[in-house]
Amino acid sequence: MKFFIDTAEIAEIEKWAPTGFLDGVTTNPSLIKKSGRDMIEVITQICEITNTPVSAEVAALDYGGMLKEAEVLKKIAPNVCIKLPTTMAGLHACSTLTKQGVNTNLTLCFSANQALLVAKAGATYVSPFIGRLDDINLDGMQLIEDIRTIYDNYGFETQILAASIRTPNHVSDAALAGADVATIPASTLEKLVHHPLTDKGLEGFVKDWASTGQSIL
């Protein structure tokens, strides 16, 4: 399973890029707003740090506008992945960009039928939003499972990118459900490594090792 970081904060990307866990970056208009920075500058800077896929989202809602914005975004760097909303215009733009060999990420996917259309449009990634479904008492993880089944039934190559992840359990459950990628906020990435028994066990080993008086070096 690939790990993308869901952020427009340069410091977070710089922290995770050298760890070997970072397989890509996703941004969206809300994350750009939160960064307080110019979108083109941020995406350019992210692409200077990593050559992994970096999702940059169009703002236009119409087909022609999406394609014009995609032209600008894809010129930033070869690893820019054009993020489009799962609407009729977004799907149409996806089909066109796919024919041009451009990588795409279809965002705001909330149903299996939307995911089916995304795969038929030839998208590189589909982004089902787990957390936002859970927020309204629906089952985000069931959607990942359903999309996995449908894509496997037909051999669709679109990768399932579990998005709107809020907890460490979302990450492991998405892995169990067969998601290809999880895009994870930095705060949740930090939590994945922690286990109280690891901390307790290490404390005991450190104490016992010190009492042996030995040194490996």
Indicate which residues carry an active-site annotation. 83
Residue 198's H or E segment, with its range, is: helix 196-212
Q: Which stretch binds ligand E4P (CB under 6 A): 62-70, 86-94, 128-136, 141-149?
A: 128-136
- Told to check if 183 binds ligand E4P by CB under 6 A, we report yes
What's the CA gap between 161 and 79, in Å, rounded? 17
Task: Please say which residue, 89 or 162, places its beta carbon nearer to ligand E4P.
Answer: 162
Task: Please say which residue, 169 or 198, places its beta carbon nearer to ligand E4P.
Answer: 169
Task: Please say which residue, 26 or 121, places its beta carbon nearer to ligand E4P.
Answer: 26
What's the CA gap between 162 and 135, in Å, rounded? 15
- Told to check if 9 binds ligand E4P by CB under 6 A, we report no
Crossing angle of the two packed helices 168-176 and 140-154, in degrees rounded to 10: 30
- Told to check if 70 binds ligand E4P by CB under 6 A, we report no
Q: Would you give the DSSP letter of residue 142?
A: H
CB of 175 to ligand E4P, least distance (A): 16
CB of 205 to ligand E4P, least distance (A): 38
Task: Please say which residue, 114 or 127, places its beta carbon nearer to ligand E4P.
Answer: 127
Minimal CA–CA distance to 126: which of 91, 97, 93? 91
Minimal CA–CA distance to 6: which of 25, 33, 29? 25
Query: In this structure, which amino acid lies at residue 171?
Result: V
Q: Given the rule CB under 6 A, which residues bind ligand E4P?
A: 6, 26, 28, 107, 127, 129, 131-132, 163-164, 183
